[in-house]
Amino acid sequence: MTGKLQEEYRDAILQNSEESLIFGPKGEYWGIISQNNEDFIFPSPVNLSGWLDDTADWLGEGTSILEIGPGKAVLAGKVLSGKRNAKNYFIADISEGILNYAREQLGQMQSPIKTHFIRGDLNTKNPLREIKAGSLDRVILVNVFGYLDPDIALSNIHRLLPRGGLLRLTVGDHEAFTRSEDYDPNINRQYVRGRKFHADAKIEPLGYTVSADGKKVPFYGYRRNYSKEEIETLLDKNGFATEQFKVVVIPKELWLKVRSLQSNFRLNQEEEKLLEKYGGRPIWDIIARKK
Ligand SMILES: C[S@@+](CC[C@H](N)C(=O)[O-])C[C@H]1O[C@@H](n2cnc3c(N)ncnc32)[C@H](O)[C@@H]1O
């Protein structure tokens, strides 16, 4: 990314502390997405039926489970609709809009599993106080970790699990992350530029970037991805041992559909090549055990 404006904003961005750089968009950003039916979709493995079935079975084996960042509550719905070991399903999210949507979807289901909804920002200290320390068996975050401060989020999750408890994360692939047009190598982050309708919504951008064709494009937060080594090191230093590191491919059609809902959608050649190489966008599916 080039351009004078971009450089001015970068100076302003770099004056912020490293900590404030890492955060994803505010709750309002996600809340607005949850009110726009057609646009309420993410390039997520929850949209792949095989992955969804397997993951619901895996998660439902726990007695007390927590999902952070449910989006459309597709995974929660799958867990609640089957025969499971689970007794309690906690759902935590930064956005009241997302939680309301999940309440509506799951409230209509007849399930013996009790659901609990908690509003909490994982980037703050101890946001899930109402869950007793060490009381959960399994915690899952699907396409959420990139919006979080990894050390704060992992320490929040660490408190909730007993020794041997399991954490599952999906995280975008690092190779594709660094090739995308909204990636800025100077801050090692992607700008979250928002969906088209965000331009008319009453939500303040965090700043502006300049696109390759010279347009001023607002952004609402940052997204980070990690190399395999980086994420394993992060997990290890925060008290988790990696047990599984699998690749799941988000099919090209789904990925392009969601990207085209974003403002200033444009694929560069390198991204196109990667999409062809993998048949879509690879993401990592990681399981780690609390040490
Ligand atoms: C990209 S969506 C993924 C939704 C869903 N898991 C899926 O894969 O379809 C990110 C989700 O994380 C939530 N989220 C983002 N930042 C968060 C934070 N700091 N604390 C808690 N939840 C957050 C959003 O509200 C949203 O539900």
- What pLDDT was estimated at residue 86? 96
Q: Is residue 122 within 6 Å of ligand 1 at its C-beta?
A: yes
Total domains in the chain come to 1
- What pLDDT was estimated at residue 13? 47
pLDDT tens, 212-267?
788 888 899 999 989 999 999 999 999 999 999 999 999 999 999 998 898 778 88
Which residues pair with residue 168 across a beta bridge? 140, 287
Number of H helices, E strands in the chain: 11, 12
What is the CA(141)–ligand 1 centre distance, in A?
A: 8
Assess whether pLDDT exceeds 70 at residue 3: no
Assess whether pLDDT exceeds 90 at residue 211: no
Q: Is residue 146 within 6 Å of ligand 1 at its C-beta?
A: no
- What pLDDT was estimated at residue 16? 46
Mean predicted confidence (pLDDT) in 260-279 = 88
Which of residues 197 and 249 earns the better pLDDT score?
249
**Cβ atoms of 80 and 89 closer than 8 Å:** yes
- What pLDDT was estimated at residue 200? 82
Model confidence, pTM = 0.94
d(CA 184, CA 33): 24
Burial of 235 (0-12, 13-18, 19+ CB in 10 A): buried
Name the residue at shortest CA distance from atom 1 of ligand 1: 143
Angle between helices 252-259 and 269-278 (to 10 degrees): 150
Assess whether pLDDT exceeds 60 at residue 291: yes
Q: Is residue 34 within 6 Å of ligand 1 at its C-beta?
A: no
Percent of all residues in the chain with a pLDDT value above 70, rounded to a whole number: 93
Q: What range defines the domain where residue 22 resides?
A: 4-290
- What pLDDT was estimated at residue 20? 55
CB within 8 Å of 247: residues ≥ 6 apart = 173, 282, 283, 284, 285
Mean predicted confidence (pLDDT) in 121-129 = 94
pLDDT tens, 8-59?
445 444 444 455 567 899 999 999 999 988 899 999 999 999 999 999 999 9
pLDDT tens, 51-85?
999 999 999 999 999 999 999 999 999 999 999 99
Assess whether pLDDT exceeds 50 at residue 1: no
- What pLDDT was estimated at residue 70? 98
Q: Is residue 24 within 6 Å of ligand 1 at its C-beta?
A: yes
pLDDT band at 176 (very low <50, low <70, confident <90, very high): confident
Q: What value does the mean pLDDT of the chain take?
A: 90
- What pLDDT was estimated at residue 21? 64
Assess whether pLDDT exceeds 60 at residue 162: yes
Q: At 97, which CATH number?
A: 3.40.50.150
- What pLDDT was estimated at residue 202? 83
What is the CA(41)–ligand 1 centre distance, in A?
A: 12
